[in-house]
Amino acid sequence: MTLILTVVVVALVFEYINGFHDTANSIATVVSTKVLTPRQAIVLAAVTNLIGALFGTAVAKTISSGLVDNQFVNTITIICALSSGIVWNLLTWWFGLPSSSSHAMIGGLVGATLATAKGDWGALIWSKAPEAGKHWYEGSGLLYKVVLPMFSSPLAGFLIGLCVMGLLYSLCYSLRPLWVNRIFGRLQILSAGFMGFSHGQNDAQKTMGIIALALLAGTKSGELNDIPQWLSFLRIEDLGEKKDAIPVWIKVVCALTMAAGTAAGGWRIIKTLGHKMVKLQPVHGFAAETTAATVLSVAGHLGMPVSTTHAITTSIMGVGAAKRWGAIDWSVVKRILWAWVLTIPATGALGYLLVKLIQS
């Protein structure tokens, strides 16, 4: 019982850190364009994150039952997986690098599960092809839900951002800069809200899935058999395809925790995204936020735990490229890309080592 509660606490710590780590990504543009003050942007993000987190459970179900074999997951596995993600998030936050909390969690889960399974790669659900007649994105496993979206979502963010910004340039060609800033300054408040909603819809669900996975493991192992009746809501017998697979209390707790983390802010990453990589005006911020939020919403609906970081960063790159290729500080982009490349291997290795250390 103590271990189960430890898992829930560690998961919520991860969610809190995710709030201030990834929220910086979601509000960087609206702050850098000076449409909203940092405090106003954080309040907007906290509220929209909270609302978004309560909509849908497709991503949560992917995390809880679609990436690793549940029989190889126990409370130690999840604690180690989350701990590796927390360490990586804090490290990249300290250096102001907008890395992916999603991939940090997934990498930690994969590594920790592999160690728990004593190196049995069969413990990982690599791919389950969709049923005949269904689309590729309706498949499950790491290939369909993590690897393919890891490449397709940043590419979509860049290309759509480039096209949207190109369209806005053609539409606003004859307008005075003053009017463009006024119009898109107002519109960017809406796009920032959409971005916050999409972030909550996608990212909060990942921790929901981890908590549900821990409680499922605890229920199956018998760790929750002797809990008092008033705590019986902690037992989860199954995580199938049913709509209400993730209990409401898990959704609410995760949503509130992310909102609290959001309120803490994340200024180091805001500085990197909003000021160092490319200089933005309200029209650019609107294009980038609308693009990234759309990518996240579509992915969330399809149960793909994609990275908020990847979506907004590549959207900003696409918008900057439409401005002019040289407008992007490619040295900053290079540092960001290295953080992306290393996230899953680093957290996977750390999750693996933590489990082995406890087992020894």
- Percent of the chain's residues with pLDDT above 90: 19
The overall average pLDDT reported for the chain is: 81
> Quick one: pLDDT band at residue 5, thresholds 50, 70, 90?
confident
**Digit-coded pLDDT (tens) for 188-226:** 999 989 988 888 887 777 788 788 878 887 787 777 777
Q: Hey, is 128 helix, strand or coil?
A: strand
Distance from C-alpha of 343 to C-alpha of 360, rounded to nearest angstrom: 26
Among 32-46, 111-125, 189-203, the range scoring the smallest mean pLDDT is 32-46
Task: Single out the residue of 330, 320, 234 nearest to residue 280, CA to CA.
Answer: 320
- What is the pLDDT, as a whole number, of residue 118? 92
Exposure string (b/e) for 270-295, b if CB count within 10 Å is 16 or more? bbbbbebbbebbbbbbbbbbbbbbbb
Averaged pLDDT for residues 46-60: 77
- What is the pLDDT, as a whole number, of residue 136? 62
- What is the pLDDT, as a whole number, of residue 273? 53
For the cut 70, the answer to whether the pLDDT of residue 289 exceeds it is yes
- pLDDT: is 254 or 28 the higher one? 254
For the cut 80, the answer to whether the pLDDT of residue 63 exceeds it is no
- What is the pLDDT, as a whole number, of residue 138? 63
* Angle between helical axes of 177-221 and 75-94 (0-180°, round to 10): 160
- What is the pLDDT, as a whole number, of residue 217? 77
Rounded-to-5 percentages of helix, strand, coil across the chain? 75, 0, 20
**Digit-coded pLDDT (tens) for 306-329:** 877 788 888 888 888 887 777 777
- pLDDT: is 232 or 349 the higher one? 349
**Number of residues assigned to the chain:** 360
Distance from C-alpha of 327 to C-alpha of 209, rounded to nearest angstrom: 40
For the cut 90, the answer to whether the pLDDT of residue 111 exceeds it is yes
Place of tokens 């579509």: 298
**Digit-coded pLDDT (tens) for 247-287:** 888 888 887 887 787 777 655 555 555 545 567 788 888 99
- Percent of the chain's residues with pLDDT above 70: 88
Show the tokens assigned to 153: 């979502």
Q: Contact at 8 Å (CB) between 28 and 274?
A: yes
> Quick one: pLDDT band at residue 91, thresholds 50, 70, 90?
confident
DSSP code for 131? P
- pLDDT: is 26 or 149 the higher one? 149
